[in-house]
Amino acid sequence: MVLSVLKGKTLTGARSRTSSRTLFVFLFGFLAGAAISNSLYFYVFEQRSLRSAIYAEDDIDDDIDELGLPHFLSETKVVDGSTITIEDGNVASAGSSSDHTHFSSDLNTNTSSDDISICWLMSYPNSGTSFTMRLARIDSNCTAATNYPLETAHDNNGSLITHASLDSVLSLYPTHNQKGQSPRPPFILHPHMNRPSKYILTKTHCAGPCIGCKPKRYRTNAAFFAKECQNSHSNHDHYEPQSMNAVKKVVHLVRDPMDNAVSNYHLELKKYKRKGEDEKLKIFTNDREGFRKFCKIQDAKYVKEEQKVFGEAKWNILKNVPCHALFFSYAQWHSHAYEITTENTGMSMFDAPVPRLNMFYEDYRNATYHDSKAKLFTFLELEDIQERAIFHEGKTYRDEYFTKEEITKIMKLIKFFAIGEVWDLLLQRYDY
């Protein structure tokens, strides 16, 4: 019938024109609706990304503090005496085995998921997450995992697939519901590598900092934080929350708060560059002056709201600290990380005590590197089979970006807002 309308052979002229107009209106409406729907999808995705980009992004800082091969770049293996380069599971090149340091070719990808438990790597963004994941993965020749599916979806050139489909990620624990396949975190970073026999190190930033947000958004409670630790922070609504029954251990990673704040500022600069926001990059330069400008603007942004939310006494502690929202978020994040994983706090997500390993970014320095690595591998029950991961220590900003008076005020802020156990942990490493 549609064909006859278009050809105008079976209907009268008036009826044909009427039907053609109807068809035109229908097609126009359909295409317009599709365009609106598509625009809405990308708007929703963008809004989600604003909140979750800091979680799902591989946090490699400009300062080389976490610099190295991202998980999607090529690696080499020796097969039958020849070296092959693997890029995302695809053979990219071959050569002599003497050309490269290589992984073992004896892959153990058939380890049952039921035999593997999750060890959370809980880290405030830019605390050494990438290197810790890379260290465990490379030197054990076993894959790690992440709660963020977009980190596992790359094309053959190593670029992120921003609208990854369910088919492009591999969950450690695939499940099904009424909608069909519905994987839940964690997601395997390297499906073609060995799987660990006991514990798989799994990245989660939980509820990371909401930079530039109002205090009602960056001030969170432990219950919200705990829920975010399980979520994938993806544009896909049909990813299920992570099952807590599988989480058996926790690695809590900590970095100097001043270095961490500046490192997160550098991450903001990367976002500006990625979005083409050149005017912001002219104002917020990659140095102390740019950081100070950034803090000054952020500190003045929501003064009235912060006074109302925190009250006079707490506001007096916050107001004279540069980038006070960042340092409050730091204290809050580490406190929640401790509260939801420790039995005696009354806020634990777990029915039984969960073994935890506290690690400091600074322990990866030369003098303590091997001790830290040994502690991590023992905790994960991983076999240390090679020395290939290299730690490139990043800059320290404490004395360059902050005055002694400011450092004292920052640490007093953290002491006030952090729980006692976290403050005691920080005092083991950081002076003020």
Indicate if the pLDDT at residue 245 is higher than 60. Answer: yes
Q: What tens digit of pLDDT does each residue of 402-430 get?
A: 999 999 999 999 999 999 999 999 999 99
Indicate if the pLDDT at residue 141 is higher than 50. Answer: yes
Q: What tens digit of pLDDT does each residue of 6-26 get?
A: 333 333 444 444 444 554 445
What does the pLDDT average to over 242-253? 87
d(CA 263, CA 59): 10
Q: How far is CA 171 from CA 149, 186, 227, in A?
A: 9, 6, 19
Per-residue HEC secondary structure of 319-332 comes to: CCCCCHHHHHHHHH
How many Cβ atoms from other residues are within 10 Å of residue 124's Cβ?
Answer: 26
Minimum mean pLDDT range among 1-10, 33-42, 365-374, 392-401: 1-10
What does the pLDDT average to over 39-44? 36
d(CA 113, CA 172): 6
Q: How far is CA 375 from CA 131, 369, 370, 379, in A?
A: 15, 10, 9, 6
- Residue 268, both tokens: 């903001």
CB distance 326 to 255 below 8 Å: no
d(CA 118, CA 246): 6
pLDDT at 184: 76
Model confidence at 175, in pLDDT bands (50, 70, 90)?
Answer: low
What does the pLDDT average to over 117-146? 93
d(CA 169, CA 171): 7
SS3 assignment, position 199: strand
- Residue 335, both tokens: 């406190």
Indicate if the pLDDT at residue 223 is higher than 50. Answer: yes
d(CA 97, CA 76): 9
Range from 25-34, 159-168, 207-216, 249-258 that averages highest in pLDDT: 249-258
b (16+ CB within 10 A) / e for 302-338: beeebbeebeeebbebbeebbbbbbbbbbbbbbbbbb
- Residue 284, both tokens: 């917020």
pTM here is 0.72
Q: How far is CA 5 from CA 13, 30, 31, 367, 378, in A?
A: 10, 18, 20, 82, 75
What does the pLDDT average to over 66-95? 32
CB distance 341 to 122 below 8 Å: yes
What does the pLDDT average to over 324-353? 89
Share of the chain above pLDDT 90, in %: 49
Model confidence at 272, in pLDDT bands (50, 70, 90)?
Answer: very high
Indicate if the pLDDT at residue 178 is higher than 90. Answer: no
CB distance 207 to 224 below 8 Å: yes
What does the pLDDT average to over 1-9? 36
d(CA 319, CA 310): 11
Indicate if the pLDDT at residue 114 is higher than 80. Answer: no
d(CA 71, CA 151): 9
CB distance 260 to 330 below 8 Å: yes
Model confidence at 165, in pLDDT bands (50, 70, 90)?
Answer: low
Q: Where are the alpha helices (DSSP H) in 345-419?
A: 369-380, 398-401, 404-417
